[in-house]
Structure 1
């Protein structure tokens, strides 16, 4: 039977999201691709240190067992194939079963998300993330300066999501940006019974829900909605999740409070948000990624 990715949760990830390669990347960003490749080759026997998304990947792969492979993680990198050797050696040294990779030697890699049927793309390259989102794939720019995930929950994959422009569309956010908080609250109260349209990360949440339902492994998934919404706008968010037949384990309606300290208590392996201020706040406490989607990231042209 030919290999297939059907019925698997597929995560595509760049080398800088999985490993700490910031020192090497300074050469790459400077345009000295040859020096970058030579440095990676000279460090072939030196395992790269874990990066921001390492904990998330390691825990997701723990859902696999000899009887069934439920999760596939694929390296999708602008690295050259020679540098890819170090990545795969670092993966092996870390005890992670990651077997597939695409190395484009500087070319845009996001086009390969389609044949991978990826449920998530994590990259440190903002342009690649924007293009992936534009093509309809859940994607986030990993803040490489984020702290590492905690180790208090080894048997749980913990993921936290913002609501508007992440799990949900930016319909309500557009009202807030254009007309302010009072208009936003009125809009959401009037439409409390009407589910919000899907946001870019709804497919990932649904895939995680299916993984949790199907898994017989010792691992479990714990999710949290961490949003700047507050009462009475909370109701529409809850009713939308009910309409999707998807439950989150925790919900935080923070009314604009900084999210970082709340996330520190939840201890996610990763947090996704469309607002750069919230992502930076989170990154001081937990692994975080910016979802460059919605009106906050693509404001309408001035009239």
Structure 2
């Protein structure tokens, strides 16, 4: 029987999200594809430095064992296949066991997400992320220059999510953007017993929840957090929505518009997902961060 990805947590990641290929990309932007290929081939045996998504991928792969492959990471890149050689060699040098990759040489690769049944797509290219989200896949643009130290919790992967337009739909956010905070608070108070429609990252949180239950007897752990600008009384609808989905998060922070960075510094996530550029700028000083190009704040961009 052919190999199947059924039942696995599948993460598709671009080469620039996994490794720091910014210098190589500058060669491509300043010159052409041939110069880029020559640059990569000349450095074939020189492992690229880890990129923004590297700590997340590294920890997710620790859920695999010789007996069972619970997580599948696939390189999904618009690089040419020859340049892909350096990606796989860099992964090998860094101890990442990667077997699968799709390289499309300038053509947008997001269309392969359906064939992969991907639970998450991380890319440095905003339009690929936007296209993936439009197809219903959880996707984020890795925020350049993100900081973080995954060594603090080597046996635990920590992932934090914003609420509206990320875990939840942007229904309430649209009220806030159009009518302001008082109308938003009233809207959420009135609808407290009505679950919010799902946002693009509900399915990824569900996949993490399944992995969390399947690996309770292993050395690796998963810890999740909701980090949202909501405050009371709008917090109730968020909590009730997660309960309705039968999904638990380990921590919840209702910050009422406070800067998220200092709170994330206490949680120490391996990755944080948010739809607001300002929150991503604050968070990226603390942890690897992904911009979810979704919702009303991105409609006109």
Please report how far the alpha carbon of residue 31 of structure 1 lies from its aligned counterpart in structure 2 after TM superposition: 5.2
Pairing 1:296–2:287 present: no
Take 1:144 and 1:253, find their aligned partners in 2: how far apart are those partners? Answer: 26
5+ residue gaps, structure 1, are none
Is the CA contact 1:52–1:149 (under 8 Å) kept in the aligned structure 2? Answer: no
Is the CA contact 1:271–1:288 (under 8 Å) kept in the aligned structure 2? Answer: yes
Take 2:298 and 2:268, find their aligned partners in 1: how far apart are those partners? Answer: 26
Q: For 1:258-283, what per-residue CA distance to the aligned partner results, in whole angstroms no more than 9, with x for missing partners? A: 11111111111100000111011111
Question: Could you tell me which residue of structure 2 aligns to residue 186 of structure 1?
Answer: 186
Take 1:173 and 1:123, find their aligned partners in 2: how far apart are those partners? Answer: 25
Take 1:280 and 1:240, find their aligned partners in 2: how far apart are those partners? Answer: 28
Please report how far the alpha carbon of residue 217 of structure 1 lies from its aligned counterpart in structure 2 after TM superposition: 2.1
| Root-mean-square deviation over aligned CA pairs | 1.1
Secondary structure of residue in 1 paired with 2:252: strand
TM-score norm. by structure 1 comes to: 0.97
Take 1:144 and 1:217, find their aligned partners in 2: how far apart are those partners? Answer: 33
Please report how far the alpha carbon of residue 145 of structure 1 lies from its aligned counterpart in structure 2 after TM superposition: 1.2
Take 1:268 and 1:102, find their aligned partners in 2: how far apart are those partners? Answer: 28
Pairing 1:127–2:115 present: no
Question: Could you tell me which residue of structure 2 aligns to residue 253 of structure 1?
Answer: 254
5+ residue gaps, structure 2, are none
Q: For 1:71-101, what per-residue CA distance to the aligned partner results, in whole angstroms no more than 9, with x for missing partners? A: 0000001111111001000000111111000
Please report how far the alpha carbon of residue 150 of structure 1 lies from its aligned counterpart in structure 2 after TM superposition: 3.5
Question: Could you tell me which residue of structure 2 aligns to residue 138 of structure 1?
Answer: 138
Secondary structure of residue in 2 paired with 1:151: helix
Question: Could you tell me which residue of structure 2 aligns to residue 218 of structure 1?
Answer: 219
Question: Could you tell me which residue of structure 1 aligns to residue 30 of structure 2?
Answer: 30
Moved over 3 A (4+): none
Q: For 1:210-243, what per-residue CA distance to the aligned partner results, in whole angstroms no more than 9, with x for missing partners? A: 0011113210100000000001100000000001
Q: Which moved more, 1:177-186 or 1:140-149?
A: 140-149
Q: Which moved more, 1:27-36 or 1:186-195?
A: 27-36
Please report how far the alpha carbon of residue 40 of structure 1 lies from its aligned counterpart in structure 2 after TM superposition: 0.3
